[in-house]
Amino acid sequence: MKEPNNKRIATNAILNTAKTVLGILFPLITYPYVSRILGVENLGIYTFSFSFLSYFLLIAALGISTYGIREGTQYREDQHKMESFVSELFSINMISTIVAYILLFILLYAIPSMAPYRKAVFILSAEILFTTLGVSWICNIYEDFLAIAVRTIAFQILSLVLIFVLVRSSQDLYIYFAILLLSNSGANLVNFFYIRRKYCRFRLTISIDWKRHIKPILVIFSTTVAITIYVSSDTTMLGFMTNDYQVGLYGTAVKIYTIIKNVLAAILMVLIPQFTLMFARGDKKQTDFLFSRVFNILTVLMLPMCVGLFFLSDDVVLLLFGKEYSGSAAPLRLLSIAVSFSLYAYMYTQCVLIPIKKERVVFKATIISAIVNIVLNFVLIPLWGINAAAITTIIAEIITFTIAFFYSRDTVSLIGVGKNLVSTVMGCVCISIICLVCKSFDLLLIRIAASVLGSVVVYLAVLLITRNPVLWQMKEMIIKHH
């Protein structure tokens, strides 16, 4: 039985994480500049416009990416079947894209309150078409993360330069939108030609096996809709129930929260094809081993980041965005709690339940979370504003994780996580103490630097003293390779 190529998995994880980290550096470098040039209200317009557009991006995507990776993995060695499979999914995707555009423009002009946002939405909506043409999920099937990383980074660097050159005043809002479109979608256009040349010459076709594809696609799509509702509904509802200033503050907190989450999710994303193949072979022992190892690594990396973000929220917001955005610190502190539940939920849903074709369970979990999130938003936003939106996100993530864990417990088992968890929690307690002590420093940069460096040193020391299994495995690997 063929074992997973651990070296290849590690390389892919590094590449995908590097792409994500560099993608994060782009907004980290530009956002403080843009936030000061454009102002809170203009960024509120962007946040609300993109939140509105996200629903139509979702309709166009139709869950095809997740379904394509799961089903397409089995055709990697059969060129003819792969081309036929991809052509069918690409054709379905083009149909859903046309439907998304029709619905978008109907609602954009039918809702009077959307009038101030029409130009912004119109510019940003080009991303719908470019995402469909990009078919980046094919690169995931072949685990070609290098190609995706190189193209994405190249367009982000170009966009970085353009922002500093062209965005010079609050009047340049729509130029900023156009540059963001280039950053988000430029690589997709290149991807279209690259995939057709290297992997499969897919095409539009009317010969589609609708009976085979449509049911699982719609279940995955419904799940994604529910996820988007409880992720985006906070911002959308704040837009309708408060004002652009509040949306701008919350959007800033969500941006940092999303950065942390995406960096760690990038590690998990590369494992989906591997888990799909392993579940298909029925090798529970090996699956449990890999799943437990990834769970432990995720825990060691994630929990200290969440704790550090919780205690440094005020300083992080002040450093990156200035005093005008100080109101973002409280919701960011709350969202730092949601990160861990979100990533554990992602691991169980995308690496276990989707590969074993239990997408109905994922749909059940997310629809329950979405309903709870919306209901609580209606009740709590008038009382607590942007803090309420953050609290409902925590609750939604906890619900999703709990349900996903319950339905995965017979499929995968966690092995040897107790010692790792105890060691990590002890390290996090020490991080809390370091951050509290460093709050006494007056200078912002010194306060942050002392907190981060002190936390890293103390955390690593605790892991070494407690013989944390993840750290010792990494140490043995380094010694072995040298």
Tell me the pLDDT tens digit for each residue of 368-410: 988 898 899 889 988 888 899 899 989 989 999 999 999 998 8
> What does pTM read for this prediction?
0.74
Greater model confidence, 18 or 249: 249
Mean pLDDT in residue range 24-40: 77
Give residue limits of the domains in the chain: 6-279+333-411
> What is residue 273's predicted lDDT score, i.e. its pLDDT?
72
Q: SS3 for 410? A: coil
Write b or e for each residue in 72-111: b if 16 or more Cβ atoms lie within 10 A of its Cβ, otherwise e: bbebeeeeeebbbbbbbbbbbbeebbeebbeebeeebeee
* Overall average pLDDT of the 126-150 stretch: 84
pLDDT of residue 429: 96
DSSP sequence for 225-282 = HHHHHHHHHHHHHHHHHS-HHHHHHHHHHHHHHHHHHHHHHHHHHTTHHHHHHHHHHT
The pLDDT of residue 284 is: 85
Higher pLDDT, 203 or 474: 203
